[in-house]
Amino acid sequence: MVDTAQPESFPISRRDSFNTRDTRTRNLKPFHSGDIKILLLENVSAKAVDILKKAGYQVEFHTKALDNATLIEKIKDVHAVGLSKTKLTEEVLSHANKLLTIGCFCIGTNQVDLSYAASRGICVFNSPFSNSRSVAELVIAEIILLARQLGDRSREMHEGVWNKVSKACYEIRGKTLGIIGYGHIGTQLGVLAEALGMHVVWYDILPVMPIGMSRAANSLEEVLAEADFVSCHVPETPETKDMIGARELALMKPNSYLINASRGTVVDIDALAAALNSGHLAGAAVDVYPTEPLANGPGFESPLRNCPNTLLTPHIGGSTEEAQRMIGVEVATSIVKYIDSGASVNAVNFAECDLRAIPSTDLTTVRIVNVHQNVPGVLRQINNILADYNVNKQISDSKGDVAYFMADVAVNDPKEISTIYEQVTAIQENIITRVLF
């Protein structure tokens, strides 16, 4: 593959290149930081914009998603993209000539073709738990709203109808919450639910430690049969597609409630609408949909509209000031660390590697960062190239078909930097090579 990740200002002069702002360790730079272009979509947090601008990059910020044609045009020229729900398919990414990294300013990464990105040497980051608490709190609110039919009562009042009823309205104390997917959000939710006096039973494909008094079920069916409220917190995977369909809804207790704030593909929406309209389920709260509008505004359509005791929210599970700020800091920091120092810690599609910082007194060491196909013999070729230099430290790891390599190498003459760069780039299995000064 042609490597265009190294911009025009490479190689730069030794005097420009060594940054000695930090008195203890050297801040590495990928070439001139001002060359780095970042495309931020979908109104990611202002905190992220601050961090990326402070790193010296050129930041293009959009409050909305871009249409596919514009996205393809813009992605050709940038080194990093930040997004939330924009789909980065193989087709879109195949136009990304300079892209080094993608920041998903959210938890889910199903919107990005992760393996294709890795095969092109593009490292993807997300924020694995910064909005977990926000989602768990929303679900707790929904459990109470559903149990008291508050969505319907509120709508009636706005329509001018006074409808004071207690029939089929309940306390949640003593009821059973069934959690499908006991990860970051599922465990938070379980803790909050127990604090409100609920019993918690959960199902997960992994053996996870039960928190508090909660109990692991042996199967999804066991949870469906026991729970008064079932809440889904699994990722979007081929296995979770339509995980809750007509069969599973029929297995749920009569007059129970379903909540889905995970991904729209997890629940069969037509089957859910049928279960609500037939009265088998007493209510549902849905935050995510098989297809979601890319921008705010009218025109939302779903079979769930106007179903009884059904709360519909526009994918706002993680939409709090706290969560967005934390996500902004976390993902922007990962992007800067990856671009400037090569650290891939917290990457979702790359092996996670880092090297300890280079002391500020060391003005001769450069960092070679290389992504290559994970086949035998590549490390030998790289180390042959580095054999005549003093390699202070190096690390290599792989994930699937792609391997990641970092080495800190002492060079005597700046001209040697270009030589090493050109030789490593020429290795047939090379995907991307960068030299950080």
Ligand X SMILES: O=C(O)C(=O)COP(=O)(O)O
Ligand Y SMILES: NC(=O)C1=CN([C@@H]2O[C@H](COP(=O)(O)OP(=O)(O)OC[C@H]3O[C@@H](n4cnc5c(N)ncnc54)[C@H](O)[C@@H]3O)[C@@H](O)[C@H]2O)C=CC1
Applying CB under 6 A, the residues found at the interface with ligand Y are 107-108, 129, 131-132, 135, 180-186, 203-206, 208, 233-237, 239-240, 261-263, 287-288, 315, 317-318
Interface with ligand X by CB under 6 A: which range of 99-107, 198-206, 339-347, 418-426? 99-107
Q: Alpha helices, DSSP H only, in 232-320? A: 246-251, 269-277
In the complex with ligand Y, the residue whose CB is nearer, 52 or 185, is 185
131 lines the binding site for ligand X (CB under 6 A)? yes
Smallest distance from the beta carbon of 131 to ligand X, in angstroms?
Answer: 5
Instruction: Say how far apart CA 291 and CA 304 lie, in whole Å.
Output: 13
Smallest distance from the beta carbon of 352 to ligand Y, in angstroms?
Answer: 16
Which H or E element spans position 368?
strand 365-373
In the complex with ligand Y, the residue whose CB is nearer, 121 or 186, is 186
Instruction: Say how far apart CA 121 and CA 103 lie, in whole Å.
Output: 14
Instruction: Say how far apart CA 298 and CA 247 lie, in whole Å.
Output: 33
Q: How far apart are the first and last CA of the chain?
A: 24
Instruction: Say how far apart CA 201 and CA 217 lie, in whole Å.
Output: 6
Q: Which does 85 bind (CB under 5 to 8 A by kind): ligand X, ligand Y, none?
A: ligand X
Considering only residues 55 through 94, tell me which ones interact with ligand X, judged by CB under 6 A: 84-85
Instruction: Say how far apart CA 288 and CA 147 lie, in whole Å.
Output: 20
235 lines the binding site for ligand X (CB under 6 A)? no
Which of 424, 420, 342, 417 lies closest to 16 in space, CA to CA? Answer: 417
In the complex with ligand X, the residue whose CB is nearer, 236 or 354, is 236
Active site residue 148: no
C-alpha gyration radius of the chain? 25
Active site residue 292: yes
In the complex with ligand X, the residue whose CB is nearer, 16 or 292, is 292
Smallest distance from the beta carbon of 322 to ligand X, in angstroms?
Answer: 13
Active-site choice (73, 90, 171, 292): 292
All residues at 6 or more sequence positions from 422 whose CB lies less than 8 Å from its CB, including other chains: none
Considering only residues 397 through 416, tell me which ones interact with ligand X, judged by CB under 6 A: none
Structure tokens at 382: 């790289």
Interface with ligand X by CB under 6 A: which range of 102-110, 161-169, 239-247, 265-273? 102-110
In the complex with ligand Y, the residue whose CB is nearer, 68 or 237, is 237
Chain position whose Cβ is nearest to ligand Y:
183
Pairing of strands 176-180, 199-203: parallel
What would the DSSP string read from start to end of 158-214? HTT------TT----TT-EEEEES-SHHHHHHHHHHHHTT-EEEEE-SS--PPPTT-
102 lines the binding site for ligand X (CB under 6 A)? no
Instruction: Please pick, from the candidates 39, 107, 138, 331, the single residue that binds ligand X as defined by CB under 6 A.
Output: 107
Which of 105, 107, 79, 75 lies closest to 91 in space, CA to CA? Answer: 75
Quick one: how many helices (H) and strands (E) in the chain? Answer: 14, 16
In the complex with ligand Y, the residue whose CB is nearer, 234 or 427, is 234
271 lines the binding site for ligand X (CB under 6 A)? no
Strand partners, 370: 405, 433
All residues at 6 or more sequence positions from 265 whose CB lies less than 8 Å from its CB, including other chains: 236, 240, 241, 242, 290
Residue 299 CB neighbour total at 10 angstroms: 6
Interface with ligand X by CB under 6 A: which range of 46-54, 106-114, 116-124, 385-393? 106-114
Instruction: Please pick, from the candidates 35, 49, 56, 108, the single residue that binds ligand X as defined by CB under 6 A.
Output: 108
In the complex with ligand Y, the residue whose CB is nearer, 101 or 132, is 132
What secondary structure letter does DSSP report for 199?
A: E
Smallest distance from the beta carbon of 416 to ligand X, in angstroms?
Answer: 44
Instruction: Say how far apart CA 292 and CA 286 lie, in whole Å.
Output: 12
Active-site choice (315, 367, 372, 434): 315
Considering only residues 305 through 324, tell me which ones interact with ligand X, judged by CB under 6 A: 315, 318-319
Pairing of strands 365-373, 430-436: antiparallel
Measured in residues, the chain has a length of 437
Smallest distance from the beta carbon of 3 to ligand X, in angstroms?
Answer: 32
Smallest distance from the beta carbon of 380 to ligand Y, in angstroms?
Answer: 37
Q: Which does 183 bind (CB under 5 to 8 A by kind): ligand X, ligand Y, none?
A: ligand Y
Active-site choice (26, 79, 184, 263): 263
Structure tokens at 133: 């608490």
Q: Which does 430 bind (CB under 5 to 8 A by kind): ligand X, ligand Y, none?
A: none
Q: Which residues bind ligand X (CB under 6 A)?
A: 84-85, 105-108, 131, 315, 318-319
Q: Which residues are catalytic?
A: 263, 292, 315
